[in-house]
Amino acid sequence: MELKVFNKEGKETGRKVKLNDEVFNIDPNDHAIYLEVKRYMAASRQGTHKTKERSDVVGSTRKIKRQKGTGTARAGMISNPIFRGGGRVFGPRPRSYDLKLNKKVRHLARLSALSYKARNKQILVLEDFSLETPKTREVAQVIHNLEIAEKKSLIVIPERNKTLYLSSRNLQRVDVVMASQLTTYDITHASKLILFEGTVDFLNKNFS
């Protein structure tokens, strides 16, 4: 599969790049995508939730009423869960939500997501460029020139570019990620993938 290369003005450069079929044209595995997105979202949870159980409630431990003769159920401490202000029964505790998923399944999910994007023509190739100083206006103009300003876009760069990151972080529908840190969630969450020419070379070489 070949895609045209566009410049910052949104015009064709006359060049084309070839997408490796082993990366962008495999038979997608929907279940692998589901498992990887589920794992990613679970790992993003803080897991710091905590409620006070019976032993955590501060209060007197004396017996609040006599054992027999009251006509009601026996009761001990005021922290009993049946009383207002008492501890919660089996409340949430801090824990990790991480799920184990084999590396091969995670890799298959990422290739499947890329293949879906290529099949649905949701990938744009942009010639490599850099900014001398952080300018949000310049990145916004590039997105406007590509006619995708109303869509959720993900710019995938081949290597770290702090200037480009700073220039795009205030744009609501634009994210920037390095190719080595590209995840299945990032791919599926974006409506358009904007790949630099260097990014295509990186993906063809390292993801196949």
Write the pLDDT tens digit of every residue in 81-111.
Answer: 999 999 999 999 999 999 999 999 999 999 9
pLDDT of 29 over the 90 cut: yes
Residue 191's pLDDT band (cuts 50, 70, 90): very high
Strands of the chain (E only): list them. Answer: 2-6, 12-18, 123-126, 153-157, 174-178, 192-196
Domains assigned to the chain:
2-28+101-206 (3.40.1370.10), 46-96 (no CATH)
Model confidence, pTM:
0.83
Residue spans of alpha helices (H) in 9-67: 21-24, 30-43
